Amino acid sequence: MNIFKRISFLTIVFVFAGQLAKAQHLFTGRVIDSVTRQPVEYATVTAEGKSISTNKNGDFRIVLHKDSLMLTVTCIGCKSKMVACNMKDKHIVIPISRGKIDLQEVVITPQLSGPSFHNLSTLDLNLRPVSSSQDLMRLVPGLFIAQHMGGGKAEQIFIRGFDADHGSDLNVSVDGMPVNMVSHIHGQGYADLHFLIPETVSTYDFGKGPYYTDYGDLTTAGYLAYTTKDALDKSMISVEGGQFHTFRVAGVVDLLGEKAKQNGENAYIAGEYNYTDGPFKLPEHYKRTNLFAKYTKQLGANNKLSLTASSFSTSWIPSGEIPERAVAAGTTALDGNGNPYILPIASHPIDRFGTVDSAQSGKSTRVNAIAKLTTDLKNNWTMENQLYYTHYTFALHVNSTFFAEDSIHGDERQQVEARDMFGYNGKLSKQHNWGNTSLISTLGLNSRFDRTYGTEYSRVTEQYQFLDYNTLGDIRQNNTGIYLDETLQSGKWLFNIGSRLDYFNFHFHDTTKTQVVVSPKINIEYTANDKVQLYLKAGKGFHSNNAIAVIGNNGIETIPAAYGADLGLNWKPIPHLYINTALWYLYLQQEFVYTDDGSIAPGGKTKRMGIDFSARYQLAKWLFADLNVNLARPRLADSAKNTGYLALAPTFTSTGGLDFKFDNGINGGLSYRYMHSRPGNNTNTLIADGYYVTDLKLNYTQKRYEVGLTIENLLNTKWNEFEAERISRLRGEPAPVDQMSFTPGTPFFAKLRVAVFF
């Protein structure tokens, strides 16, 4: 009898389960842009109270209980759309068009294969007009940049309690190609983004901390990845000009027509030319020329080919890094004999925008080529294969200490390198589906090989006559990484577990060193509903060292490890308010300290903890507010309380503003950025002054043209863009002086822009 009851019970269970399974229906589809016919990533598809986001191919998969219903598709900056579908529609394609930005349409969903901050990045890129790569970098909440000796160098980067130099702790890429230059003569991870034309950028993605398996070297504070457009919605030519003899012309032009777009084929070219003298007394003569071309082709139903080529060339005469004592009462400096100190180049006293050494100069070039093939292997298998190549040159004459080391010839330094970089990115992914549960398994391979020719760091005179070498030789460096990543999403939970294995080979002066690094990661999300999401991230990352220092073995870890954790929240307490906040911690096995932008010294173990807060609020249909607040406590790990400061590491930063978009075409915004004063050295006896700067942008945009006004430093604030401790000696001074040197921030600066669309 008991056996009969059990059999009856199991029969009922199986029958019920079978009926339940029959009651579930799978709907699949793809969301595309109605104009460009390109996939729309992170569009939200909603039905029966359930929401799912599209992947990078615009695809979605949603399991529902009805065999016929309405799907609602929303996307930031697009018009929402309702689509009727039924089980006869095996796979539907949903075109959506551009529209107004409405924060009510922002839906918090589990991201099976996407970044945590895409809502922030998409909102900011849609609301903030950008006209330079610097504007693009400033869109990242908590990221500050500075130029400290001429506009042609890679920006100094500050983020999450890091003075990340020119990129030593932030992995930067464009279309999967690394921007960072490892073993660069001007600093490890040197990330010069000036080759990126802002009008070509489609999306950008960022992540903070070392938690991402597909990002390896230099991903300690985080990563920043830009993606260029596969297709244009319109062509454009713009001209802008402003104070300080500033001029820019830029254009993006579609080469194929609408018929080609319908057939999955696109091609366009872009270019820009920039010139400015800057606010300095010594004209900067900054020149930059960028060219870009991209071709994409859908090869049958299962393959997409993308080919990209770009070139970049720049030259400039730097000013800045002026010792505080060289500017007395903001007007005149005194030499060692108490007489007014006169510039070597003119009969003007030094002021904030003066120049101590007029012999400095810089120039750089970069040529890139990228080929990428994305393949749908069917049965939920996808594969990506990418090859890239870069040829790069760099030459800089720099002097920030003047006569501190050599009172006769001066401290002029020459830094030169030429480089070839070859690389491959590959990824094989499989998505498994069981009802409302999905698992994405990813196996990836990254490999890059850098070879430099004539890497040189030498002493020269002001007339560029050679004195002696500090470094000279060729570098060969390889980094190959393989990673495995598993992402399981079931109901409200998402679990991501992965690990990287990286192999490094350093070669310099006929000496080779190798090292292998393993970096595990884990990410957990709990999405309570479409308004609340909690996440926990933890993992190990690393940044590699310069090959010259590795071979020299100057007490420096070859691959210092970084261990971090984030506890965060994405929250929509009301329909038009979106909040992201996180409590974080990061420990570094060894900090790198760069002296005079060439030498490397071990900086010891460090620890950082802090709070990030970002909010986006729509006050009206046409008015948007944003606020970012970032607190950090950076310290040497073994230091006593109130000691062990990290020079220039930011402790409190904030950005925010108001942006408006009227139906009549008037749009723009008022924004601010604030950097709190911070220690100028490790003993906190010198201070790097904080600043508060306000910018204004106004545009009048119509279908065929746009007219715009940009004002940087609207209130004409006196501020220092960069400060650093320097032991320097001016001509005639009896001895070197340990003091802060500074580069003044741009004063009130206005420029006009006119663009034509066609």
pLDDT > 70? residue 16: no
| Structure confidence at residue 150 (pLDDT) | 76
pLDDT > 80? residue 13: no
How would you classify the pairing of strands 170-174 and 222-228?
parallel
| Structure confidence at residue 555 (pLDDT) | 58
Beta strands in 199-302 (DSSP E): 201-208, 222-228, 236-242, 246-254, 265-276, 286-299
**Mind listing the pLDDT tens digit for each residue in 386-420?**
999 999 999 999 999 999 999 999 999 999 999 99
| Structure confidence at residue 332 (pLDDT) | 43
**From CA 513, how far away is CA 352, in angstroms rounded?**
46
> Can you read off the two tokens belonging to residue 604?
């010891």
Phi and psi of 105, rounded to 5°?
-85, -5
Query: Could you write out the DSSP letters of every residue in 540-589?
Result: EEE-PPPHHHHHHT-S--SS-EEEEEEEEEEE-SSTTEEEEEEEEEEEES
Query: Could you write out the DSSP letters of every residue in 281-342?
Result: SS---EEEEEEEEEEEEEETTTEEEEEEEEEEEEEE-----EEGGGSBTTTB-B-TTSSBPB
At 628, is the secondary structure helix, strand, or coil?
strand
Range 553-579 average pLDDT: 90
| Structure confidence at residue 598 (pLDDT) | 53
> Can you read off the two tokens belonging to residue 727?
């032991």
Range 484-501 average pLDDT: 95
* pLDDT above 90: percentage of residues in the chain: 69
Q: What structural domains does the chain harbor? A: 130-757 (2.40.170.20)
> Can you read off the two tokens belonging to residue 620?
């009206």
pLDDT > 90? residue 61: no
> Can you read off the two tokens belonging to residue 502?
């990286």
* Cβ–Cβ < 8 Å for 219, 189: no
| Structure confidence at residue 525 (pLDDT) | 95
Q: Which of 73-82, 274-283, 552-561, 675-684 has the lowest mean pLDDT?
A: 552-561
Question: Which helix (H) or strand (E) covers residue 177, if one does?
Answer: strand 177-178
**Mind listing the pLDDT tens digit for each residue in 604-615?**
899 999 999 999
**Mind listing the pLDDT tens digit for each residue in 525-540?**
999 999 999 999 999 9
| Structure confidence at residue 600 (pLDDT) | 62
Phi and psi of 13, rounded to 5°?
-60, -45
> Can you read off the two tokens belonging to residue 693?
């700067």
Confidence label for 639 from pLDDT (cuts 50, 70 and 90): confident
pLDDT > 60? residue 349: no
**From CA 37, how far away is CA 104, in angstroms rounded?**
25
Confidence label for 11 from pLDDT (cuts 50, 70 and 90): very low
Range 61-75 average pLDDT: 83
**From CA 149, how far away is CA 356, in angstroms rounded?**
12
Task: Select the more confidently predicted residue: 757 or 9.
Answer: 757
Nearest to 557 by CA among 600, 609, 599, 608: 600
pLDDT > 70? residue 83: yes
- 3-state helix/strand/coil string of 400-429: CCECCCCCCCCCCEEEEEEEEEEEEEEEEE
Range 715-736 average pLDDT: 93
**From CA 376, how far away is CA 613, in angstroms rounded?**
39
Burial class of residue 747 (count of CB atoms within 10 Å of its CB; 0-12, 13-18, 19+): middle
Q: Which of 182-186, 194-198, 203-207, 588-592 has the lowest mean pLDDT?
A: 588-592
Nearest to 453 by CA among 419, 408, 495: 419
**From CA 604, how far away is CA 590, in angstroms rounded?**
5
Query: Could you write out the DSSP letters of every residue in 708-739?
Result: EEEEESTT----EEEEEEEEEB-TT-SS-EEE
> Can you read off the two tokens belonging to residue 711?
């004002």
**Mean residue pLDDT across the chain:** 90
Rg (CA), the chain: 27
pLDDT > 70? residue 574: yes
pLDDT > 80? residue 469: yes
Confidence label for 593 from pLDDT (cuts 50, 70 and 90): low
Confidence label for 337 from pLDDT (cuts 50, 70 and 90): very low
Task: Select the more confidently predicted residue: 269 or 111.
Answer: 269
Lateral strand order in the sheet of 68-74: 50-53, 44-47, 68-74, 81-86
Non-local (6+) Cβ contacts of 552 within 8 A are none
| Structure confidence at residue 6 (pLDDT) | 57
Non-local (6+) Cβ contacts of 205 within 8 A are 115, 117, 118, 121, 224, 225, 226, 227
Sign of the dihedral defined by the CA atoms of residues 466, 470, 472, 477, in that order? negative
Confidence label for 4 from pLDDT (cuts 50, 70 and 90): low
**From CA 677, how far away is CA 285, in angstroms rounded?**
31
**From CA 388, how far away is CA 368, in angstroms rounded?**
7
* Cβ–Cβ < 8 Å for 217, 542: yes
| Structure confidence at residue 290 (pLDDT) | 98
Non-local (6+) Cβ contacts of 269 within 8 A are 252, 253, 255, 291, 292, 293
Confidence label for 28 from pLDDT (cuts 50, 70 and 90): confident
Confidence label for 3 from pLDDT (cuts 50, 70 and 90): low
| Structure confidence at residue 582 (pLDDT) | 97
pLDDT > 80? residue 345: no
